[in-house]
Amino acid sequence: MSNASSVHALTYDCINPHIKEAKYAVRGELAVRSEKYRAQLLKGDKGDLPFDTVVSANIGNPQQLDQKPITFFRQVASILENPLLLEKEDVLKDALGYKQDVIDRAKTLLKYVKSVGAYSQSHGAPGIRESVARFIEKRDGYPADAEHVYLSNGASGGVNTLLHVICSKPETGILVPIPQYPLYTATLSVLNARCVPYYLDESHAWGTDMEEIKSALKKARSEGTDVKAIVVINPGNPTGASLSEESIKSVLELAQEEKLVVMADEVYQTNVFEGKFISFKKGLRDLQKAEPGKFDNLELASLHSISKGMVGECGHRGGYFELIGFDEKVAAEVYKFISIQLCPPVIGQCMVEMMVNPPQEGDPSYELYKQEYDSIYKGLLERAQALYKAFKEMEGVECQSPAVSTPPPSLSATSPSPTTSCANPKSIQSQGSMYLFPTIRLPKRAIEAAEKEGRKPDEFYCFRMLDATGVCVVAGSGFGQKEGTLHFRTTFLAPGTEWVGRITKFHKEFMDEFRD
């Protein structure tokens, strides 16, 4: 009988090798196993599983973990999806509780896009891009041009576009922070380009180390890598750290000196629990103001998304990136690349508009919006603190503090970020994101057991955690980490804190089992 490979034109051996080389740990083997457990429990077949629920702490997917959608966003979206509702405004208001500003916003967005079932301009509807530009202006205190704003299929769509344009040959290199969100290394693998890792400084709360970046750059160039760009994730994923003003300016100064494009991934800019978020756009404009002419040709691409923050609309796939200082011919090629993909999801574009232009104080929907926003923020902070407290008490575990108790950031980002002076460029200006990334020190016997299974020690630990608790996290090796260190990343999106106790109990039993 013929085997499968002899009857298929497309076999594993003949597909694109760069796809096979790409790794994406947050949706890898651990996540696949967790979904099998979830499906088993949904069928009512608990079997011998020692838990009743699966907690997907492996990925920043807020609404899968019961974060409620913001009412204003979804009410507007319901009208956008079914404009016939506008023929019954009295029903919307009297029976369904829609406020007038919901109806007005839906009408405005329909003027911008005509229908969410229609294509828009390739880089997004003009009216929505103008709204994004106004948001950026208010956030940073500097002008923004809607012509330089590109709406995208989530921030990842922007990353994909930029890397495709930048990576012109196999020798092209991109400086990527380690640990990092694996989107970058996976995309570079697919493009057959080179990841140039630079390690973040765990001893200084995962801040940037400029000497480390310079060393990585020098080494890569000496090996024939044409380094074209540097990626900065701020606030960090998976680390949760946010950069100080001085750190941001140091990266920009290096980029200017070394002719590097700066890709600033800023999707967690409202997930800040301590201090204030400062954008790379503001950092660049501050430098240009202080030293006229010196930084005029520095190229910066800043990315944002509706998937994170208090919005959490991952499934609607909305985002944007802004290009600053790019050659007009290069920008034209960026536009051509996204034109090949037609346009980003139009309903996602509308969600972007609502994110950057939410109800303001005095608007009919403002009080409910503020209540929901603050509640989500408070819940995230409480769970972050509960996890951090648990990690502090666990044997062999160390973790950076997520935050002190602080009020949520501005709901509308309508005022410029404050300037914060910081003498030490390695120091952090704030703490944020939606992750904790603790260090774990495992007994020798556990490391030996992992080797017998053909797994890395942190992967072994995470699989054992999943099997014992139903809590799915991601091993630090999936993000990159310094040789000889072990970590795991967990979100704190799941409701309640009961599952934190599951982790604590598992860890004690694991350490007792493998104690040297």
User: pLDDT tens-digit profile of 264-273?
Assistant: 999 888 877 7
* Residue 4 reports pLDDT greater than 70: no
CA nearest neighbour of 150 among 330, 416, 413? 330
Q: What is the pLDDT of residue 363?
A: 96
Q: Quick one: pLDDT at residue 186?
A: 87
Lowest mean pLDDT among 137-146, 346-355, 412-421, 478-487: 412-421
Report how far apart, in Å, the C-alpha atoms of 462 and of each of 328, 429, 507 are: 47, 31, 10
Q: Is 4 exposed, middle or buried (0-12, 13-18, 19+ CB in 10 A)?
A: exposed
pLDDT at 408: 55
Q: Please give the residue that has the higher pLDDT: either 448 or 60.
A: 448
- E-state strands within 16-68: 55-56
The answer to which of 86-95, 368-377, 404-413, 437-446 has the lowest mean pLDDT is 404-413
Q: Which domains does the chain have, with CATH numbers?
A: 17-67+371-514 (3.90.1150.10), 110-356 (3.40.640.10)
The reported pLDDT for the residue numbered 423 is 30
Beta bridge partners of 196: 175
**pLDDT by residue (tens digit) across 269-302?**
887 777 788 899 999 999 999 999 999 999 999 9
Strand intervals (E) in 350-400: 397-398
> Given this model, what pLDDT does residue 354 score?
95
Vertex 414: Cα angle to 410 and 420 (nearest 5): 70
Is a pLDDT exceeding 70 seen at residue 432? Answer: no
Please check the confidence at residue 156 and state whether its pLDDT lies above 60.
yes
Number of neighbours of residue 95 by Cβ within 10 angstroms: 9
Is the peptide bond preceding residue 238 cis, with omega within 30 degrees of 0?
yes
- At 495, is the pLDDT very low, low, confident or very high (cuts 50, 70, 90)? low
Alpha-carbon span 233 to 179, nearest angstrom: 10
Cα dihedral 3/9/11/17 (nearest 10): 160
Mean residue pLDDT of the chain comes to 85
Q: Is the pLDDT assigned to residue 224 strictly greater than 90? A: yes
pLDDT score recorded for residue 311:
85
Helix-strand-coil split of the chain, %, nearest 5: 50, 15, 40
Compute the average pLDDT of residues 57-78. Answer: 83
State how far the Cα of 101 lies from the Cα of 81, in Å rounded to an integer. Answer: 17
Give the pLDDT mean for 374-384: 83
**Cα separation of 316 and 110, whole Å?**
17
Give the helix/strand (H/E) hosting 188.
Answer: helix 183-190
Compute the average pLDDT of residues 163-181.
90
The rounded distance, in Å, linking the Cα atoms of 227 and 213 is 12
Question: What distance in Å separates the CA atoms of residue 405 and residue 389, rounded to the nearest whole number?
Answer: 14
The H-or-E segment that residue 512 falls in is: helix 498-514
- Pick the more confident residue, 360 or 25: 360
Residue 151 confidence (pLDDT)? 96
What secondary structure letter does DSSP report for 487?
B
Can you tell me the distance from the alpha carbon of 337 to that of 164, in angstroms, rounded to the nearest whole number? Answer: 8
State the pLDDT at residue 430. 42
Average pLDDT over residues 318-343: 92
Best CA proximity match to 470, nearest among 510, 508, 506, 434: 506
The tens digit of pLDDT for each residue in 401-417 reads 765 444 455 555 443 33
